[in-house]
Amino acid sequence: MTPRQWAVTALVVLLAALAAFAAAKVPWHRAPAPRADQLDALGRLDAGKVARARQFHAELRPGRYLAMLLGLAAALVLGLTPLGARLVELTGDHWLVRAVLGGLLVVVVTELLTLPIAIWRHTVVVRYGISTQSWGGWAGDMLKSYAVGAVLGGVVLAGFFTVTHFAPRWWWAFGAAGVAGLVVLLSFVLPVLVEPIFNKFTPMPEGPLRTELLELAERDGVPVRDVLVADASRRTRAVNAYVSGLGPTRRIVVYDTMLTEATPDEVVSVAAHELGHAKDNDVLTGTIIGALGAAAAVIALYLAGSWGGLLRLAGVDSIGDPRAIGLLLALSTVAGLIAGPAQAFVSRRVEARADAHAMDLTGDPETFEAMQRRLGTVNLADPDPPHWEHAMFASHPSTVQRMAAARAYARAAR
C-alpha cells in the first residue's frame, strides 16, 4: 500500500478505537434532571442575584462571540491565502527557524487581534467583583500564559516539522505517535510544572478539615499525595476545588476563597465531587481520548494537506513545509469549533456522574445542593442559561440542573 492508503487505514483504526473507548468509558446515559425540578430550583434562588448573574453574562456575551469570529477570520485569512506563508518567510530561510519562530509569529498575530477584547473583558469582571487583580497582575498572568504557550508551542512545532523534514512520506505515522505520547506526558507534568507558575500552593494546615478530606479520599479508595490551598484570592473571588494529577502527582487543591466563603461541609462536598473524577479515572480517560484524538488529527491533517486546492490557496507546495503553518492553524481552528459541542456534551455527562458520586460518598444531597447554590451565586454563573448556548459551550451541568439532581437523589434516598 502507498503511504496515503496506510494513513487512511490508520485513521479508520484510530477513530474506531476512539469511538469504542468513549462508548465504554463515558456515562452517556446520565441525562439532566427533569425540567420541572429545574424550574422549581430556579424559583427558589434569590431573584436579584439571578438577574445580576444574567446581566453579567449578557455583558460578556458580545465580546466572547466577537473574539471567536475574529480568531476564526484571522485563521482563515492566514491559512487560505498566501499571507500566512509570507509571514513565516519573514523569520529567515532555515526550515527549523521558520517552523518555530514563524509558527509563533502567526499565533501572535491572531492573539493581538483579540487582545483588546481580553482587556475589555477584564474591565467587566472587575466591575462585577469577580476579579481582584490589578492591571499589573492581570498583565503578568497574560505574559505568563503567553510564555507557557510559546514554550509548549515551540516544542510541538519543532518536533512536528523535524519529522516532516526528515520523513516527508511517513511523517504522519511518527507525528501521530509523538503527539499521543506528548498528551500523556503533559497529563503528568502540567500539574507539577505549570500550575505553580500561576498560583502559589501551600499545604493545608493540620486541622479537622484537612483530616476529613484525607479520610474522605481514603474511604473512597483514592490515594492522594497532599491537600493543598491555592492563593486564588490574589486574582479572583470565585470559589473552587479540584483534584489534579495522575498517580504520584495527584492532590486535592482547594481555593483559599472557598475556605472563607463556604462551610467545611460544603468544601467536603466539592472535594467528594472531585474525588469522583479520580475514582472513575476521568483524567486518565480524558488523557487516552485526547491522545487518540490528537493522533487521528495529525493523520487527518496529512490527508487534508494532499488536497491541491488548499495548498494553492495557501501558496505552498506541501503541508509539511513550515510555510504552511497558517494552513495548519486554519484547519485546526475549524476542527476545534466543530468538535467543541461534542466535547462539551461529554464533559457534562462526566461531571453529572461526579455529582452523583459526591452524594453517594457523603450521603448528603442537601449540602451538595447548598454548595451548588453558593458556587453559582459567588461565581456569578447563569443558573439557567439559554439552551443552545449551554449545549454548545457548557462543560458542566447548569446550577439548576445540579440542584434538581440533588433533590431527585434525596427523593430516591427517602
- pLDDT score of 243: 80
Q: What is the 3-state secondary structure (H, E, C) of the chain?
A: CCHHHHHHHHHHHHHHHHHHHHHHHCCCCCCCCCHHHHHHHHHCCCHHHHHHHHHHHHHHHHHHHHHHHHHHHHHHHHHCCCHHHHHHHCCCCCHHHHHHHHHHHHHHHHHHHHHHHHHHHHHHHHHCCCECCCHHHHHHHHHHHHHHHHHHHHHHHHHHHHHHHHCCCCHHHHHHHHHHHHHHHHHHHHHHHCHHHHCCEEECCCCHHHHHHHHHHHHHCCCCCCEEEECHHHCECCCCEEEECCHHHCEEEEEHHHHHHCCHHHHHHHHHHHHHHHHCCHHHHHHHHHHHHHHHHHHHHHHHCCCHHHHHHHCCCCCCCHHHHHHHHHHHHHHHHHHHHHHHHHHHHHHHHHHHHHHHHHCCHHHHHHHHHHHHHHCCCCCCCCHHHHHHHCCCCCHHHHHHHHHHHHHHHC
Residue 99 pLDDT > 90, yes or no? Answer: yes
Tens digits of residue pLDDT in 394-408: 999 999 999 999 999
Catalytic residue among 256, 274, 369, 384: 274
Average pLDDT of the segment spanning 19-37: 88
- pLDDT score of 226: 85
The response to whether 390 counts as a known ligand-binding position is no
The response to whether 165 counts as a known ligand-binding position is no
The response to whether 277 counts as a known ligand-binding position is yes
Residue 305 pLDDT > 90, yes or no? Answer: no
Lowest mean pLDDT among 10-24, 122-136, 241-255: 241-255
Residue 308 pLDDT > 90, yes or no? Answer: no
Tens digits of residue pLDDT in 367-390: 999 999 999 999 999 999 999 999
Q: Is 37 a catalytic residue?
A: no
pTM of the prediction? 0.90
Catalytic residue among 256, 261, 321, 355: 355
Higher pLDDT, 336 or 33: 336
Tens digits of residue pLDDT in 174-183: 999 999 999 9
Residue 139 pLDDT > 90, yes or no? Answer: yes
241: pLDDT confidence band, cut at 50, 70 and 90? confident
Q: Is 274 a catalytic residue?
A: yes
